[in-house]
Chain A
Amino acid sequence: MKKRSFILLLLLSIVLILLYTAAGSANITFADTFRILLKRITSARDAVYDTQEIIILNIRLPRILLAYLCGAALALCGCGYQSVFKNPMADPFILGVSSGAALGATLSIIFRLSGSFLGLNMTALMAFAGAVGTVFMVFLISENARSSTTSTLLLIGIAIGQLITAVIAVLMLLFKESIRNIYFWTLGSFASKSWPHLYVVLIYFTVGFVFMMFNHKNLDLMLLGKKEATRLGQDTHVVRRNILLITSLLAAGVVSITGIIGFVGLITPHVVRLFTGPIHKKLLPFSVLIGGIFLTTADTIARSLTSQELPVGIVTAIFGAPFFIYLIYSSKRGVV
C-alpha cells in the first residue's frame, strides 16, 4: 500500500512538473511544452533552439526542478530537526541558519560584493558562509557550555538568531538604499535561477538524503528522547551532532540560493506523519515528495497569480500559516 502510494506520488510529481512548466506569462501550450522537452531528451546536445524552447529549457524547467528539490531538501531538514528536538514543531531555521544566511546576503548587498563560484553569485556565497558560520558558532558555544543539552543548543540558536536579526536591522538602518533588496532577498524567490543553481542544490540534497536514509533508525530512536535512545544503544551526543550538522548545512545550501522560505520544513513532515506515522524509513521519502510538490506549487502560484511575481516565501506563508493553525487545532482533538 505504502509502495503504491509512493509510486503514485512520484508520478504526480512528474505530471505536476510538466504542467507547471507549461504555466507562465509566455503563452506556450502544454503540447508545445511536451514537444520541447521531448526534443531536448532525444536530440543532440548541439541542437538549435528557438525562443519558446529557451524559455522552457533554460528558464522554467531549471526553476521548477530547483523549487522541487529545495522543497524536498527543506522537508528532509524538518524531519531531522523534529526528530533531534523530539518536537513535531521544530523548524530547520531554529539554529540560526536563516538569520546567518540573511546576514551574509545583507553584507553582500550593502557592499555590492562581486564574484562567483560554481555559477553562484556573491550574495549566495556570502549567505552560505553566513549560515554555516552561524551554525558552527551555535554548536561551538553549546558544546562548551557547562551543560550541553538539546535545550542548551536550542536556546543558544534562538539567542544568536535574535542577535543577528538585530545586527541586520542596524545595517538596514545605516544603509537605507539597500533595504528593498535585502527585504526581497529574505522573502525568498526562484526568479532568475538556472541550471548551475540546480546542480549545486542537487549535490547538497543527494548527500543529505543518503545520509538521512542511512540514519533512519537513529532518527527513530531520537524520537524517544536521549535517555531511552541511549538505553537502545545510541551514542546520542555524536548522532545528534552529526544529524544537526548535515541538516543545517543542507538548509544553509538551500537558503543561500533561494532566500528564506518558511513553513515547508516545518509543515511537510507534520502532514506526512499523519499518513505514514513517525517511523523515518517511510517518513523521509514521503516528506521529500510532498515537500517538493508543495514548493513547486507555491512557486507556480507565486509567478502566475498576479502580473508581478510574488516572493515564494509569501505564498508558502499565506498557504502554510492557516494550514498550520488548522493542524494545531486538530492536534487538540488528537489527530496530529
Chain B
Amino acid sequence: MNCIKIDHVSYSIEHFAILNDIHLSVSSGDMLGIIGPNGAGKTTLLNLITGFIKPTKGKIYLNNKDICHMRKDEIARAVAVVPDNFETEFYLTVFDIVLMARYPHSVRNYITANEDYTLAEAAIEKVGITHLKNQHYKTLSSGEKQKVLLARAIAQDSQIIVLDEPTSNLDVKNQMEIMQMLQNMHTEGKTILAIMHDINLAVRFIQNFIFLKDGNIMYSGNIHQVFTKDVLGDLYDIPVEVFEDIHRGFLFMQAQKSE
C-alpha cells in the first residue's frame, strides 16, 4: 500500500523552480534515503510532505488522502519530523518537548490524557535519555538534542517518520547511535524517509535511495544501482571513487581531487 504518493509535484518561488515534476511512491514500511548536493530541493520536499508548504503543481497523498484536504493535526498524526536542529529561547524541559508530540492527538482537549504522559515517558526511555527528562532542552549537547527530537517523533506515534539530516551536527558515536535507532524503528514497521548528507553513513543503514539534483529526481533505486562511481560523480559534479570493505561488505565513496 502506498503510504506516500508524490504525484508530479513541482514547487517554485516567484517563477524560480525549486522542485520539478517529482513523482515518487513510498510503500508502508519502506526506508528511503534522500541524497543530493546543497540546494537540490531535499528540505523543500520534506516541507511539502509535512504540509508546511503547498505544491505549485501536482498532488501529494498521505495514505491515499490528498494532503491539501487534510487538517494539520491529521497530517501530524500521519507524519512525524525529526529536524536537523531546533533551538528555543524558552526553558522547556526534555519532557515538555516530547509531550508536545502528543498534542496532534489531543490539541482540543483541555486535559492531557494519562496515556499521553505514558507514551512520552516510554519514548524518552526508548532513546536512552531518561536521565535528561527534567533537564532544559536548551542546555543539552547537539547529540542529546537530536535524541530528544527522535524521542519526540517516537511519541508522536505516526506511521511515517521524516528526518532532515539527523546526523549533521553529531560526532561519530552519536551518528551511529541515531542511525541504529532509525534502523530499529524501521524494523518495527515504521516508514522512514531520511535526508542524509553523509552518504557513507547512509549506505550502511539504508538500502533504497533517491538522488535529487537541481530539483529533479536524477536517480532512484537500491544501493547497488545508485552507489556507483558514474552516478555519484554525476550527482556531485566531482570525480569520485567507490570502494568496498571486503571484510564487512560496506560500500563507501571517496571524492577525488580535481586534476
Contacts and interface: CB of A to CB of B under 8 A. Distances in A.
Q: Do the two chains belong together in a single complex? A: yes
Interface of A: 86-88, 213-214, 216-218, 220-221, 223-225, 227-228, 230-235, 273, 277-279, 281, 334, 336
B61 to A, nearest CB: 18
A103 B22 CA distance: 54
10 contacts: A86-B89, A88-B90, A217-B106, A220-B96, A221-B103, A227-B83, A231-B81, A233-B107, A277-B93, A278-B90
Contacts of B92: 223, 277-279
How many chain B residues sit at the interface, stated as a range, is 20 to 34
Interface stretch (B71-79, B196-204, B216-224): B71-79
Contacts, number: 79
Given A214-B110, A223-B90, A224-B86, 14 more contacts: A87-B89, A88-B89, A217-B106, A221-B100, A227-B52, A231-B81, A232-B76, A232-B100, A232-B101, A232-B104, A233-B71, A233-B76, A277-B96, A281-B112
Given A214-B110, A223-B92, A278-B92, A230 B103 contact: no
A273 B92 CA distance: 10
Nearest to B152: A232
A232 B103 contact: yes
A79 to B, nearest CB: 12
Contacts of B104: 232-233
B16 to A, nearest CB: 15
A235 B71 contact: yes
B91 interface: yes
A213 B110 contact: yes
A8 B237 CA distance: 68
Contact of B52 (A87, A216, A231): A231
A277 B135 CA distance: 12
A281 B97 CA distance: 14
Contacts of A232: 76, 100-101, 103-104, 156
B191 interface: no
Interface in B55-110: 71-77, 80-81, 83, 86, 88-93, 96-97, 100-101, 103-104, 106-107, 110
Contact of A273 (B77, B86, B91): B91
B83 A228 contact: yes
A234 B93 contact: no
B233 interface: no
Interface string B139-160: 1000000000000000010000
A281 B50 CA distance: 27
Nearest to B139: A334
B86 A228 contact: yes
B51 interface: yes
Contacts of B80: 231
Nearest to A224: B88
A220 B100 contact: yes
A223 B101 contact: no
B51 A230 contact: yes
A221 B75 CA distance: 16
B73 to A, nearest CB: 3
Contact of B103 (A87, A220, A225): A220
A234 B50 CA distance: 12
A108 to B, nearest CB: 40
A234 B89 contact: no
| Residue with the greatest number of chain B CB neighbours at <10 A, chosen from A88, A214, A228, A233 | A233
A314 B121 CA distance: 48
Interface string B102-130: 01101100101000000000000000000
Nearest to A231: B81
Contacts of B156: 232
Nearest to B106: A217
Contacts of B110: 213-214, 216
A140 to B, nearest CB: 24
Contact of A230 (B52, B86, B93, B112): B52
Contact of A217 (B72, B76, B81, B107): B107
Contacts of B106: 217
A277 B90 CA distance: 8
Given A221-B100, A223-B88, A224-B88, A234 B107 contact: yes
Contact of A233 (B72, B90, B96, B97): B72
A333 B183 CA distance: 40
B144 to A, nearest CB: 17
Contacts of A224: 86, 88, 97, 100
A230 B50 contact: yes
A147 to B, nearest CB: 11
Going nearest first, the 7 A-B pairs with the smallest beta carbon separation are: A233-B76, A233-B104, A233-B73, A278-B90, A231-B81, A235-B72, A217-B103
